[in-house]
Amino acid sequence: MPRNEHHVVHRENGGWAVKRNNATRASGVYNTKQDAINAGRQISVNQNTELVIHNMNGKISGSDSHGNDPCPPKDRT
């Protein structure tokens, strides 16, 4: 089963976009990467998805889990 993810990606014609995995259209387009990350994080929290952040070259630079994490940390109590 594919994970539910939103990706922050650089657009070829400039700016940054937040896209859901396998979507044809962006959820939002932003002038700066930080604006896209902030908006993507809010969308990801609201929809319980993973947020995957990419660099300009497309490589993943980070991620945040806001959904049902398949590998939650062990309780250390």
Q: What is the pLDDT along the chain (77 residues), one digit of tens a residue?
A: 467 899 999 999 999 999 999 899 999 999 999 999 999 999 999 999 999 999 999 999 999 987 666 566 666 55
Task: Provide the β-strand partners of residue 60.
Answer: 54
The amino acid present at 20, given as its one-letter code, is: R
Q: What are phi and psi of 11, to 5 degrees?
A: -95, 145
Q: What are phi and psi of 26, to 5 degrees?
A: -75, 150
Q: What is the pLDDT of residue 35?
A: 98
Q: Which residue ranges make up each domain of the chain?
A: 5-60
Both structure tokens of 39: 């908006």
Q: What is the pLDDT of residue 74?
A: 64
Task: Provide the β-strand partners of residue 11.
Answer: none
Q: What is the pLDDT of residue 72?
A: 61
Helix ranges, the chain (H): 33-47
